[in-house]
Amino acid sequence: MKLTDVELRRISMPLVAPFRTSFGTETTRDILLVRVITEEAEGWGECVAMTSPRYSSEYVDAAADVLRRFLVPAVMAAGAPAAHSVAGILAPFKGHHMAKAALEMAVLDAELRAEGRSFGRELGAVRERVPCGVSVGIMDSVPELLEAVGGYLAEGYVRIKLKIEPGWDVEPVRAVRERYGDDLLLQVDANTAYTLGDARQLARLDPFDLLLIEQPLDEEDVLGHVELARQIRTPICLDESITSARDAAAAIRLGACQVVNIKPGRVGGYLEARRIHDVCVAHGVPVWCGGMLETGLGRAANVALAAMPGFTLPGDTSASGRYYASDITEPFVLDGGHLEVPTGPGLGLVPVPDRLAEVTTATERLAA
């Protein structure tokens, strides 16, 4: 398909409540959307980069810049690129996985819409609905945390993930486990907040029978995770350290992780995410789908990804209402702890025009 136009659109999405992690607190998401227009169809992509480079080296202004100056012109110059060729076209430009993922997602969406195929079918989904977990940010107090967790369980979420950091780890975990019991599926996420010197403290989480501890050490400290795995019983899951199928294979071979969190934006797109899934399945390593506070566009694609066979743990594919009072698409609503996998062409949904207009802060058209 020949791309005739590409639109970069910035939107501002207020969160229903502040979301605090070890690297900062978010109250509003500044999101970059990519819309590609072809002779046959339109497609949407969502860039998950944050406002500042705290989760990773990428941030939304830089993503817009690299798309405008390098990535979009390269794809347009390729003539009529298929979605599976986008990664190769963009390979000469180093890094910028989140920007590349948004562009590939938009091209793939347009291609699948034109051919009448869904994201789920393209990725290899085997389920019509997926179980959903929820990520709970760092709170000001344990009672506040317990109330929040109770609310999410009442809504039907089947797994709870607690964000942790030094000074907020053992006590909140103990409180949640004691209040809600041993049957609760519970895991924690450190977002690189610890060092190997904290191994003894992290080992204090072992008695709570957690599903996993996510990314305890720095993203570049793969060998540190190998050593940490020898010192704690809780399974280690890597997030920020995994940016490609090659990274996943190396981490598994070294013994740095027993579980992998797959975030398509972090790894350069849904097609690379599928390759990581395949590597992990081949090695018997379970995977789950992470979240980056996506709108309904990114959520639709994530739910399709999470329906693949190797996604055996509930992901952070929460309902729209977990983060936004009003989404830019028709909302995803939890039903019995699950979300339905869209079956329509492409993502299976599009933004609601009036709602999209309300939250748009800027648009830019890049013509061929």
Residues serving a catalytic function are 163, 263
If you count them, how many residues does the chain have?
368
**Residue pointed to by tokens 């793969």:** 222
Nearest of 321, 291, 319 to residue 16 by alpha carbon: 321
Nearest of 341, 336, 302, 337 to residue 158 by alpha carbon: 337
DSSP letter string, 242-299: --SHHHHHHHHHHT--SEEEE-HHHHTSHHHHHHHHHHHHHTT--EEE------HHHH
Residue 213 structure tokens = 């501890």
DSSP 53: T
d(CA 195, CA 190): 11
Residue 157 backbone dihedrals phi, psi, to 5 degrees: -60, 140
Q: Are 79 and 2 in contact (CB under 8 A)?
A: yes
d(CA 91, CA 124): 25
